[in-house]
Amino acid sequence: MKIALASDHAGFDLKEEVKGYLLKEGIQVVDLGTDSNASVDYPYYGRKCAEAVSEGKAERGIVVCGSGIGISIAANKIKGIRCALCTDVEMAEMARKHNDANMLALGGRATDRDTALSITKTWLNTGFDGGERHQRRVDMLNDMG
């Protein structure tokens, strides 16, 4: 599996933690920045990561900003992206099972390292339920803008 990663300055440290975890698990990582805690604009990085996923350069993506809110909004502007901001393991599981979320957003200032890694692990290892009602809803999302 290949995962695209991106963050703004507020999410940089957590992005690096997630990156280390993914590499340790043998998962290929495409790090799209940022490369430091210097202030940058989250919409650029959310878009960059979402485009990598939508264009098939990565199977899924993970984005991180301070709260996870702004960068998830940016990612969701890209057609075909279903980016879920998850703050606990149950949300990560449901994002995959019911929404087939192809991107995960985390809050670098809102989520501690251990929780973020548990969320990431669950999100990576949970499949899409694929049931008729869930697929119908995912299809509806995909048909939007």
Residues labelled catalytic? 65, 98
Distance in angstroms (rounded) separating the CA atoms of residues 88 and 50: 22
Q: Taking the mean position of all CA atoms in its chain, how far away is CA 137? A: 20
Could you write out the DSSP letters of every residue in the chain?
-EEEEEE-GGGHHHHHHHHHHHHHTT-EEEE----SSS---HHHHHHHHHHHHHTTSSSEEEEEESSSHHHHHHHHTSTT--EEE-SSHHHHHHHHHTT--SEEEEETTTS-HHHHHHHHHHHHH------HHHHHHHHHHHH--
